[in-house]
């Protein structure tokens, strides 16, 4: 295992970062890690890396402080498992990637697949759901409210990220509804008792899951703070930011954005569809985005960042 490298990208323009990262990854030995430091959530940068080098890296993102994020990319060692197998998918998820292949096969043998379509509730609030869920395709979201209350989406959960970890630790009922955010989704469900059995033999798994839970708490606190204090234009810009790619100017957004509705964008921004529609139109007028056939197809990451800072 090589020593982890670290690059602070905060002094570089966003559009120069992918090339810097590509060069660093080209020099990274098998099994070694590269940690990148950014001032905003680096989801677009990690998406660019995984597009350029599919299935080559385990990705772990951490929010460590206000305007300080870490993106850790670990070079995956070669495995003979089927790319569609449960064990292969577990190997791409940071908390499980460090486990031996045989241990991941043990977890995979007990795992259950679940699929869903946009708007569908995968897990209802206040039910006994004894699993840790891992998204493998699509996006799900943690949603609160609904019914008589206006629904709010507090954060999204992307491929190879987990949900249901807090309930795993306290064995409580589900604290929030997990809903399908993208057009379709595929989720791998890991039974608590099997995860517990593995964690008893491999305590590092408990530590890794604890980090996931801590990160969710940070995201939840940040979402509640933003929805309570940031003006609507900034809130909608923040919802769109993870889908803005790290190139310069108005460039194609992440493909998943085109399947997300204005109602979902509004819920993620803590508002209603009509208000979100006005904000999207204003953002388009400021060249932060461009729509085609009613869908947001292009985003300018730098303009979105400037707007978020200007209205904060």
| For residue 175, pLDDT beyond 60 | yes
Q: Are strands 251-252 and 295-299 parallel, antiparallel or unpaired?
A: antiparallel
CA distance 83 to 60: 20
- ∠ CA(74), CA(18), CA(288), 5° rounding? 125
Count of CB atoms within 10 A of residue 282's CB? Answer: 15
CATH of range 98-227; options 1.20.1560.10, 2.60.120.10, 3.10.129.10, 1.10.3720.10? 2.60.120.10
pLDDT in tens, 280-310: 999 999 999 999 988 999 999 999 998 887 5
CA distance 151 to 147: 8
230 within 8 A of 297, measured Cβ to Cβ: no
Backbone φ and ψ for 149, nearest 5 degrees, come out as -90, 150
Q: What is the mean pLDDT of the chain?
A: 90
- The residues spanned by each domain of the chain are 5-75, 98-227, 230-311
Residue predicted with more confidence, 85 or 194: 194
CATH of range 230-311; options 3.40.190.10, 1.10.10.10, 1.20.1260.10, 3.20.20.150? 1.10.10.10
With cut-offs at 50, 70 and 90, classify the pLDDT of residue 1: very low
Q: Average pLDDT of 72-96?
A: 82
Q: Average pLDDT of 63-72?
A: 92
Residue predicted with more confidence, 241 or 224: 241
With cut-offs at 50, 70 and 90, classify the pLDDT of residue 83: low
Three-class SS of residue 116? Answer: strand
Let me know if 167 is exposed, middle or buried by CB neighbors in 10 A (0-12, 13-18, 19+): buried
With cut-offs at 50, 70 and 90, classify the pLDDT of residue 312: very low
Copy the structure tokens of residue 283.
């953002």
pLDDT in tens, 181-193: 999 999 999 999 9
> Is domain 5-75 given the CATH code 3.30.499.10 in the classification?
no
Q: Which residues of 24-37 are buried (b: 16+ CB within 10 A; e: fewer)?
A: ebeebeeebbbbbe
pLDDT of residue 146: 61
CA distance 277 to 265: 9
Three-class SS of residue 138? Answer: coil
pLDDT in tens, 110-169: 999 999 999 899 999 999 999 999 999 999 999 876 655 677 888 899 999 999 999 999
| For residue 81, pLDDT beyond 70 | no
């Amino acid at each position: 295992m090589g020593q982890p490298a670290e690059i602070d990208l905060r002094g570089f323009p966003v559009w120069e970062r992918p090339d810097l990262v590509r060069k660093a990854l080209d020099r990274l030995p098998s099994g070694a890690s590269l940690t990148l430091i950014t001032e905003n959530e680096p989801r677009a940068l990690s998406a660019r890396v995984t597009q350029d080098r599919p299935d080559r890296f385990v990705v772990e993102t951490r929010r460590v402080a206000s305007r300080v994020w870490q993106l850790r990319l670990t070079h995956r060692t070669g495995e003979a498992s089927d790319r569609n197998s449960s064990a292969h998918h577990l190997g791409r998820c940071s908390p499980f990637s460090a486990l031996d292949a045989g241990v991941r096969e043990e977890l995979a043998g007990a795992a259950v697949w679940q699929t869903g379509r946009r708007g569908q509730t995968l897990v209802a609030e206040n039910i006994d759901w004894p699993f840790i869920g891992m998204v493998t395709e699509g996006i799900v979201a943690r949603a609160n409210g609904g019914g008589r209350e206006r629904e709010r989406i507090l954060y999204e959960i992307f491929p190879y990220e987990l949900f249901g970890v807090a309930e795993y630790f306290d064995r409580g009922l589900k604290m929030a509804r997990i809903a399908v955010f993208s057009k379709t989704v595929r989720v791998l469900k890991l039974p608590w008792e099997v995860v517990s059995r593995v964690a008893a033999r491999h305590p590092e798994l408990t530590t890794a899951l604890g980090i996931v839970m801590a990160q969710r708490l940070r995201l939840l606190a940040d979402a509640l703070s933003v929805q309570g204090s940031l003006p609507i234009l900034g809130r909608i810009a923040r919802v769109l930011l993870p889908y803005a790619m790290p190139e310069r100017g108005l460039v194609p957004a992440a493909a998943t954005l085109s399947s997300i509705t204005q109602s979902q964008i509004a819920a993620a921004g803590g508002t209603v569809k009509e208000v979100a529609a006005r904000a999207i139109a204003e953002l388009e007028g400021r060249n932060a985005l461009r729509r085609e056939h009613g869908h947001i197809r292009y985003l300018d990451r730098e303009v979105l960042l400037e707007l978020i800072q200007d209205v904060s």
